[in-house]
């Protein structure tokens, strides 16, 4: 089983900035933990990070066809990138939207996601654990569908 | 460690109605799975279900002081019970909001939660696995805070 | 054929308060008239009134499975009880929403019903006759479906 | 007693189009049933249908003064014809608004009626029976007022 | 100088209905007074009334080219007839919008006019005198432009 | 008969600024014309202009009790001075709101008047003639009421 | 004279939670102070607290007919319980809405009360003194009406 | 193949009014061009123009059943005639909405069409060529469906 | 202890106008009652009334530094005078907003106060007693803070 | 004559995804058809596709100055890329907005285009034929302007 | 060159109140700095401060005709004084709107200026330096225009 | 001291397009002027321009840590790039938002900035001088903080 792990703009700064909001783990740390859990669950993790919307769309178009599911923390793109939304709709693979912080407790503009209504699920506020939680459940759901 | 597991109105019907939306597991099945996982994690689970808002508030007021955290699927109360919100604010214990279905992909009125901005986290769309995912993360977060 | 007749909060005061809005018949009078008409139509009427949302949900969960249809005047709950709405969705029985007064001619907040879009029909402004009119039509519709 | 029965635009197509929404009875069938029921109740029915707003206003101005009440299914005019509303206000006769389908369960623009707040009542979703239900109640109300 | 005097739907009922809102003069009375004042001012008055939007548009298209200005009380069409608005825009003759009652003190929907922003002026609340006031001023303005 | 003629902020600049919008007559010219017409109609005109809201309120409180009616062009205060509105409500004398330009054809914020719904009438877009038109009608209305 | 003193959801926790917002007096302390002041004013105080909307409606229906007035701090129900509002409308007794904290300075959803427009008065932000202030004034008003 | 070509209110004035917005071709010119292109494509064109909403509905009801598709420039009715919308829904024939000018670049009220979401397509801003473009494509689509 | 008592526009008319809304006591009567109560409580009352926003701001800037607290009935300024709000913010003294009538039961525009969220408290609907109630509580609060 | 043909994000997937919405032709097929039609009309077609907003802006800046007009299907960027809008404004060349599907019949967010009001025209719902229709008309318009 | 320097309500308190928001310089200090910079640039500065809207309008009407440009910090009037806006429109001199604090980072109501769209420019958040920055640029712009 | 000078999409076209809106200076000219002024103030200027959002985010992430402050004209990204906003939040360096034109006087969508509330200041409408004004003030503020 192959799972894409996409992180959007500014998430490459994780662990070095605003640790009170996003925690002290770096993106590399999180990717490694997700990779390890994936190993336990029999799922290969394909990580990707970009600050550019177009790069994320390119990655989805290229890699989603060969993957079983996707975890995405689209960062700020969550709230306006209809182009990423369309990419997900086009490739048609199940994805889970993850947010490290509880977006519903932050600025008004972070309450709305343009991805959530076509996602399988949304996980917000569980910190780095949210990626693990989403992976566990997504793999479980995918196995059930087989 | 003690975790309250609160389910709101109509969740007692889980497994018997609309299985295409909510899955085929009954609430008893889910409670049992959460209990087992709690056991693995060293957390006692205190389950409760009610169709009445007042009963849920009473339960929170009575039981939250002796608990470490709370998992709640408030059902439709999620969207308007400011009184349950106030109960959570009053007792001040960390809670995670769980939804079996992806509320962001359903009717407009289900997109807004009056609880989410004072919750630690919100998990929606992972089915019964959402309870397990929320429990795993909440216990992890609580242990970290100790 | 069995029809539930549910009346929500404050409808127990019918006939004794605001007769210029709600008429001078008591709830007991109306229930009796509905019962008599039900008898003519071959339908058993199961009446229920409560001021508590939870009690109405319990009643629906318990009694709807054994009934053919439901008449409900949800009173003020019409405008915000998403939990009652969910109960109706869960039990899946056809119901007609009845209002004694013409809610569309009263305060703005009474113009919107959170039940109406999943109801079979809405009848408002026909006074106590609205219950009879709704019963006649609901029984007719149910017989046609058989 | 004389009751006008007004049907607005496109209702002349009843029974031949979209039977899953509007049923399979033609407008002539419905008019006949209403006429028969009117006969039982001692009410003469004066039917009228037009696709033109001006024609409906002319009809109301001409015929309402000699009538006791009005049943109207204004079709799409329900949602924007302030001119028909003004006609009703001017003639001052009690009228009931009837909709064959449950307008509250259809497109957003069908939820609002510019007539409802000056009508006696609104009946929606009872199919052709809605006309009968409205007639029964309207006649009852008119007799009571005498 | 030739001035069209257009009255929209239900204004043919003036004087016979709601005299507390619209006064007790009939439309014929008002037309006569406007005609007399026009005579004093050297302006021929061409009166027209219709309940049908299309008839008003036809009248404007046919008669405006040969006229110098227009007085219109569009009745309820004031609030939604974009087609009459377009007719005015197309013929390009100056017109004044007249309302017998003070529309700004009535229902919310009467506060907005789809004609007013392309009119020369709007007069509301002066009763039948509003027609005279508008005529006086319009003739004055037209003479000044010559 | 005594009529107050109140002009609000910046109307003292009439005739010297933006003549394409407001015409080339000065406020003194207009006041004189209104005074002359008042003389013809048997009405004494009491003119007043101020740029300060408080001064206008003081004037209304002091002079309205001895007057029969009021003409007011409140300028920009039209759109937000609830204090002037309250002054009119308190003194209870009939007033007509006059605007030289057609406010409905200008910026969005000029479309709404906080005075209009308690005024007898609103006249907008007739230039200086609007004052005369309003005076004619107001005097007519006042005489009729006597 | 008999005055009902109703406190809604979570107010039983007063004094033990969030003292910086709600003060350090318990509900029992407040009730006692109100009782004592009532005694001075010749008014019997009938206290009641419940977390359940239905229980508050039942209490109002049962006790209001024998009371002269009501003080209510409806807690979060203030903002959405149309059913409590209807109960007040039905029993028709004068009531004053009290809030310990200044609701206008808190979350947006606390700015709107569904009760306030049918209340005699609203007092917010005066702490426990708000109950005394409301009682003093309500008794004064009631005596004046006698 | 038979294609209806419907033009709504004021479009009979094309070429004689506002040529800078609508071009200098008359409606007759455009109809002739569409007819010629239809001939090339093997499609008979049935033209119709009316200023009255009811007349357009009558035309659609009568002629659509015998036609394969419809081109309509509904003029101002585009923005509010729900009755024409219902007529299209009732007859169920594919239609293309054409606008000579770019409605999206004009007044706000012209940005919304009540027809567009049930149309096959919308073409705006291509001038008289828009009719040809729409005809070409509609015929292509209809042939493909056969 | 020194308490400012500020009354805004039109409150100088109290007792002489609209007694059914504002009662029959004059402003002088109310000021005297407040002064007497202040004397009982050991608080000097400094009364002020103005119809001009600037005068009220000047008064606040000059007198608040030497005062302990402020009672203000800002009249219509309550709803839009951001400049008075800024004056209160600048001087930083605790103030209570008083309204004689229940503003929440009147026009929509009276429901919102631009002062309330920086006030200690808001009292509305208690008539002249509201000033006394506010004074009692404010003095109590101020003594407690000492 | 030179025409740019720009396709935005995810349009490179045409023909391989969601053929029921977008048809079964690939982007290459469409580009070829447009190229051929361009050849017939004497217009050179310069095609371009990118998933990145910045790349589309770069392309417009570089190529528009040497082109006569532009066809663009901006995909999801249609709804939020104000930067592409600014690029079009800056280069000042006429462009037509093309959508394969009828965006007005899809999700709410697809109804609004941030490009349309500065475009010459918008064509939506004609499938691949929309490009041809737009090309035909744009070339016609450009030739007319020469 | 002559530049008016207008400061609105409460700005006379600068330096003595809320220094964390507005800095510790007094208005006199700022005026002096602006005066000195004006001297360097060859511009005479005419300072004015008032808490009263009418006084500011009077000052603009009287002094703007003899000035070349205006700097204004209208304080809270920025957000609602349409009368000051009209004064600026009437005198037609270029003005720059200055705010000491970053109004876009404060309360929602401070985000909108009723002056900004007719100003040359808006400067917010640069502290006292904003006046200097605005003066430098305004003088530069005025010299360029000469 | 090091100051980043970031210019967003389409600003590379400055001086060559729409000079009536943006002036006739090229971006290179402006950068040079800013560089020179920086030299006078002892500040090194690091200029950057890109049409791609991702490139701007990369630049901020890479260069902000070594800089003291930032000037940014984000062009159209000002209005929707939440990702750039997040980059600024993450790096935590003070920045000033500059707009050449007065965005508050242009299209509605240009009135709102998603950056402004986390910026130090916003300068709009001062032309190229706005960059100098912002630099002067930013350097002054930074020196003061040292």
Domain coordinates of chain C in residue numbers? 2-145
**CATH 1.20.140.10 applies to domain I2-145:** no
Nearest CA-CA distance, residue K101 and chain I, Å: 13
The pLDDT value given to residue E133? 97
Mean pLDDT score, H94-120: 95
Reported as a pLDDT band with limits 50, 70 and 90, residue J15 is confident
**Concatenated DSSP letters for K55-85?**
HHHHHHHHHGGG-SEEEEE-GGGGGT-HHHH
Count how many pairs of residues, chain A against chain L, have C-beta atoms within 8 Å: 53
Q: Which residue has the tokens 């939990």?
A: C83
Contact status of G34 with chain B (Cβ, < 8 Å) = no
Q: What is the mean pLDDT of chain C?
A: 95
Nearest CA-CA distance, residue K105 and chain I, Å: 16
The rounded distance, in Å, linking the Cα atoms of E38 and J112 is 49
Contact status of A13 with chain J (Cβ, < 8 Å) = no
The pLDDT value given to residue C16? 81
Contact status of H85 with chain D (Cβ, < 8 Å) = yes
Non-local (6+) Cβ contacts of A146 within 8 A are none
Contact status of L61 with chain A (Cβ, < 8 Å) = yes
**B26 within 8 A of B90, measured Cβ to Cβ:** no
Chain J residues in contact with A57 (beta carbon < 8 A) = 9-10, 51-52
Contact status of B33 with chain C (Cβ, < 8 Å) = no
Chain H residues in contact with J124 (beta carbon < 8 A) = 121-123
% chain J with pLDDT above 70: 100
Closest by CA to E95, choosing from J126, K110, I66, F125, is F125
The rounded distance, in Å, linking the Cα atoms of A75 and F57 is 55
Chain A residues in contact with J13 (beta carbon < 8 A) = 61, 90
Among J111, J122, J126, whose Cβ lies nearest the Cβ of H137?
J126
% chain A with pLDDT above 90: 91
Nearest CA-CA distance, residue J77 and chain A, Å: 7
The rounded distance, in Å, linking the Cα atoms of G134 and F119 is 37
Chain A residues in contact with L83 (beta carbon < 8 A) = 8-10, 51, 53, 75-77
Are there at least 3 beta-carbon pairs closer than 8 Å between E and D? yes
The rounded distance, in Å, linking the Cα atoms of D51 and D12 is 8
Closest by CA to E110, choosing from E134, E84, E77, E133, is E77
**Residue I7 DSSP SS3:** strand
Q: What is the mean pLDDT of chain B?
A: 95
Among A96, A124, A127, whose Cβ lies nearest the Cβ of B141?
A127
Contact G122 I125 (CB under 8 A): yes
Non-local (6+) Cβ contacts of G57 within 8 A are C9, C10, C51, C52, G83, G84, G87
The rounded distance, in Å, linking the Cα atoms of F18 and F26 is 12
Mean pLDDT score, J18-44: 92
Mean pLDDT score, L52-70: 98
* The two three-digit tokens of residue J59, written as one number: 């392309």
Asked if residue A20 has pLDDT above 90, the reply is: no
Non-local (6+) Cβ contacts of E139 within 8 A are E1, E3, E38, E41, E42, E43, E69
The rounded distance, in Å, linking the Cα atoms of C97 and C138 is 11
Closest by CA to B128, choosing from B14, B9, B13, is B14
> Which of the residues L9, L15, L58 would you substitute to probe the J interface, choosing the one with the greatest number of J C-beta atoms within 10 Å?
L9
Closest CA in chain G for residue C16? G90
- List, as ranges, residues 100-139 from L with C-beta within 8 Å of K: 102, 104-105, 111-113, 116-127, 129-130, 132-134, 136-137
Mean pLDDT score, B7-30: 88
* The two three-digit tokens of residue C84, written as one number: 């009652």
Contact D120 C116 (CB under 8 A): no
Asked if residue C145 has pLDDT above 90, the reply is: no
The pLDDT value given to residue K11? 97
Reported as a pLDDT band with limits 50, 70 and 90, residue H60 is very high
**I74 within 8 A of I103, measured Cβ to Cβ:** no
The pLDDT value given to residue D23? 76
Contact status of L79 with chain J (Cβ, < 8 Å) = yes
The pLDDT value given to residue G24? 84
Among K104, K117, K129, whose Cβ lies nearest the Cβ of L137?
K129
Contact G85 C75 (CB under 8 A): no
Chain D residues in contact with H78 (beta carbon < 8 A) = none
**Concatenated DSSP letters for L25-84?**
--HHHHHHHHHHHHHHHT-EEEEEE-S-HHHHHHHHHHHGGG-SEEEEE-GGGGGT-HHH
Mean pLDDT score, E55-83: 97
Chain D residues in contact with E75 (beta carbon < 8 A) = 83, 86
> Which of the residues K69, K73, K99, K121 would you substitute to probe the L interface, choosing the one with the greatest number of L C-beta atoms within 10 Å?
K121
Mean pLDDT score, H50-57: 98
Contact status of L21 with chain A (Cβ, < 8 Å) = no
Among L18, L53, L76, whose Cβ lies nearest the Cβ of J85?
L76
The pLDDT value given to residue C20? 75
The rounded distance, in Å, linking the Cα atoms of F46 and B41 is 86
Subunits in contact with chain J (3 or more CB pairs closer than 8 Å): A, H, L
The pLDDT value given to residue J52? 97
Contact A53 J50 (CB under 8 A): no
The pLDDT value given to residue F22? 74
What are the CA-CA distances from residue C41 to residues C142, E30, K96 (Å)? 12, 58, 79
**B69 within 8 A of B100, measured Cβ to Cβ:** no
The rounded distance, in Å, linking the Cα atoms of E115 and E101 is 17
Contact status of F93 with chain I (Cβ, < 8 Å) = no
Other C-beta atoms within 10 Å of H48: how many?
16
* The two three-digit tokens of residue H28, written as one number: 């007759």
Q: Is J112 a catalytic residue?
A: no
Contact D10 H53 (CB under 8 A): no
Q: Are strands L69-73 and L2-7 parallel, antiparallel or unpaired?
A: parallel
The pLDDT value given to residue D15? 87
Other C-beta atoms within 10 Å of L146: how many?
6
Contact status of G50 with chain C (Cβ, < 8 Å) = no
Chain B residues in contact with A130 (beta carbon < 8 A) = 121, 137
**I45 within 8 A of I1, measured Cβ to Cβ:** no
Asked if residue H93 has pLDDT above 80, the reply is: yes
Reported as a pLDDT band with limits 50, 70 and 90, residue H10 is very high
**For E49, phi and psi rounded to 5 degrees?**
-140, 140
The pLDDT value given to residue G146? 79
Write down the catalytic residue from E79, E80, E99, E112. Answer: E99
Contact status of L90 with chain A (Cβ, < 8 Å) = yes
Nearest CA-CA distance, residue G101 and chain I, Å: 8
Asked if residue G67 has pLDDT above 90, the reply is: yes
Contact status of I72 with chain G (Cβ, < 8 Å) = no
Mean pLDDT score, C84-108: 96
- For B76-127, how does the pLDDT look when each residue is reduced to its tens digit (9 = 90+)? 999 999 999 999 999 999 999 999 999 999 999 999 999 999 999 999 999 9
Q: How large is the angle between the packed helices C53-63 and B53-63, nearest 10 degrees?
A: 110
Non-local (6+) Cβ contacts of I82 within 8 A are I114, K76, K77, K79, K80, K109
Chain G residues in contact with C17 (beta carbon < 8 A) = 90-92
The pLDDT value given to residue D18? 73
Write down the catalytic residue from A22, A80, A104, A131. Answer: A22
Closest CA in chain H for residue D56? H54
Stretches in chain I below the pLDDT threshold 70: none
Closest CA in chain G for residue C19? G90
Contact H10 E87 (CB under 8 A): yes
Stretches in chain F below the pLDDT threshold 50: none
Q: Which residue has the higher pLDDT, I16 or K37?
A: K37
Write down the catalytic residue from E22, E79, E104, E131. Answer: E22
Asked if residue D53 has pLDDT above 90, the reply is: yes
Whole-angstrom Cα Rg for chain H = 14
Contact C86 B9 (CB under 8 A): yes
Burial, H52: exposed, middle or buried (Cβ in 10 Å; 0-12, 13-18, 19+)?
buried
Chain E residues in contact with D90 (beta carbon < 8 A) = 10, 13, 17-18
Contact C61 B51 (CB under 8 A): yes
- For D62-113, how does the pLDDT look when each residue is reduced to its tens digit (9 = 90+)? 999 999 999 999 999 999 999 999 999 999 999 999 999 999 999 999 999 9
Helix (H) or strand (E) holding J98: strand J95-99
The pLDDT value given to residue C17? 75
- For K56-75, how does the pLDDT look when each residue is reduced to its tens digit (9 = 90+)? 999 999 999 999 999 999 99
The pLDDT value given to residue I38? 98
Mean pLDDT score, L36-64: 98
- For H119-136, how does the pLDDT look when each residue is reduced to its tens digit (9 = 90+)? 999 999 999 999 999 999
Write down the catalytic residue from B99, B104, B111, B112. Answer: B99
The pLDDT value given to residue D19? 76
Nearest CA-CA distance, residue L100 and chain J, Å: 14
- For B37-47, how does the pLDDT look when each residue is reduced to its tens digit (9 = 90+)? 999 999 999 99
Nearest CA-CA distance, residue I99 and chain F, Å: 14
Closest CA in chain E for residue F141? E126
């Amino acid at each position: 089983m192959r799972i894409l792990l996409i992180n959007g703009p500014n998430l490459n700064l994780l662990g070095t900035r605003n640790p009170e909001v996003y925690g002290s783990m770096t993106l590399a740390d999180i990717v490694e933990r997700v990779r390890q859990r994936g190993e336990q669950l029999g799922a290969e993790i394909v990580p990707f990070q970009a600050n550019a919307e177009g790069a994320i769309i390119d990655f989805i178009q290229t890699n989603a066809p060969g993957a079983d599911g996707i975890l995405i923390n689209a960062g700020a793109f969550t709230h306006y990138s209809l182009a990423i939304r369309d990419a997900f709709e086009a490739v048609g693979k199940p994805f889970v939207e993850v947010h490290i912080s509880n977006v519903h407790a932050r600025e008004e503009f972070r309450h709305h996601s343009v991805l959530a209504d076509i996602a399988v699920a949304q996980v917000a506020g569980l910190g780095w654990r949210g990626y693990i939680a989403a992976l566990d459940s997504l793999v479980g759901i995918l196995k059930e569908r087989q």
